[in-house]
Amino acid sequence: GAVVSQHPSRVICKSGTSVKIECRSLDFQATTMFWYRQFPKQSLMLMATSNEGSKATYEQGVEKDKFLINHASLTLSTLTVTSAHPEDSSFYICSAARGSTEAFFGQGTRLTVV
């Protein structure tokens, strides 16, 4: 089966620092990856679409300068939360597209900004 690995699973960082989350497709190539976030007691919402070798496409209301996405290879996309603040504390999850019809999810990252 298709495996998507997300790292770290949990991270605590101080306010004002940056934190990087990695999303890797372990056994397939993914030209497209997606990043979602989930605020407490809310559902998962798409943040951005990450395309290998090109700029990410962000959903309305998501600050692209704050949430930097890099998709440098066919198996790795990274999400960097810059100058994190407590309101950025959330659950972030990625998915990687295999072919045109399937996407597989990572396990997610719980970010806490203190």
Partner 1 sequence: KQEVTQIPAALSVPEGENLVLNCSFTDSAIYNLQWFRQDPGKGLTSLLLIQSSQREQTSGRLNASLDKSSGRSTLYIAASQPGDSATYLCAVPSGGYQKVTFGTGTKLQVIP
Residues found near partner 1 in the complex (CB under 8 A): 6, 9, 32, 34, 36, 43-46, 49, 93, 95, 97, 100-108, 110
Look up residue 78 and give its amino acid: T
Minimum CB distance to partner 1, residue 2 (Å)? 10
Two structure tokens written together for 81: 């939360």
In whole angstroms, the minimum distance from the beta carbon of 46 to partner 1 comes to 6
Residue number with CB closer to partner 1 (10 or 83): 10
With contact defined as beta carbons under 8 Å apart, do 108 and 9 qualify?
yes
Q: How far is the CB of 74 from partner 1 (least distance, A)?
A: 15
Q: What is the DSSP letter of 88?
A: G
How remote is the C-alpha of 32 from its chain's centroid? Answer: 12
